[in-house]
């Protein structure tokens, strides 16, 4: 068993939209990522995702309307829901999702990370 300090792990992340695996449990992965700018519209057909804001804030764009997520808040995106994260300023986020979840879901482009690094 290891204790994880999210602030120390976030210091290892130097690129936006590049999730890193910080831990795992019961077939789920805990990932850390930094956002800035707009991501890509996508959905996950078979996986729910949780986005927890550690530092900063971002907007989760949804086809039904945008939701702002601030520090110490999280949002769960149900499987099959098209979404697009957007951060005007840098934001640090913890993701909780099933192992093997592709960060760009049903879309593959320059943001796609097929095998996230463990930190």
Report the CATH number at residue 16.
Answer: 2.60.120.10
* Residue 115 counted as domain residue: no
CB atoms within 10 A of CB 39: 22
51 occurs within a structural domain: yes
Residue 35 inside a domain? The answer is: yes
Cα 106–Cα 30–Cα 77 angle in degrees, nearest 5: 45
User: Which residues of the chain fall short of a pLDDT of 70?
Assistant: 102, 104, 109, 111-112
Q: Is residue 43 part of a domain?
A: yes
The confidence score (pLDDT) of residue 101 equals 83
Domain hosting 68: range is: 6-98
Task: Specify the length of the chain in residues.
Answer: 119
Cβ neighbours of residue 2 under 8 Å, at least 6 residues apart? none
Tally of domains within the chain: 1
What is residue 90's predicted lDDT score, i.e. its pLDDT? 97
| pLDDT value, residue 1 | 75
Q: Is the pTM of this model over 0.75?
A: yes
């Amino acid at each position: 068993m290891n204790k994880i300090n999210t602030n120390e792990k976030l210091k290892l992340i130097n690129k936006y939209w590049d999730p890193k695996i910080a831990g795992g449990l019961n077939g789920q992965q805990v990932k850390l990522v930094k956002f800035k700018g707009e991501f890509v519209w996508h959905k996950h057909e078979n996986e729910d995702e949780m986005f927890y804001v550690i530092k900063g804030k971002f907007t989760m764009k949804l086809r039904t309307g945008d939701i702002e997520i601030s520090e110490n808040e999280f949002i769960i995106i149900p499987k099959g829901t098209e979404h697009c994260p957007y951060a005007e300023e840098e934001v640090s986020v913890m993701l909780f999702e099933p192992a093997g979840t592709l960060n760009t879901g049903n879309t593959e482009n320059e943001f796609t990370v097929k095998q996230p690094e463990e930190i």
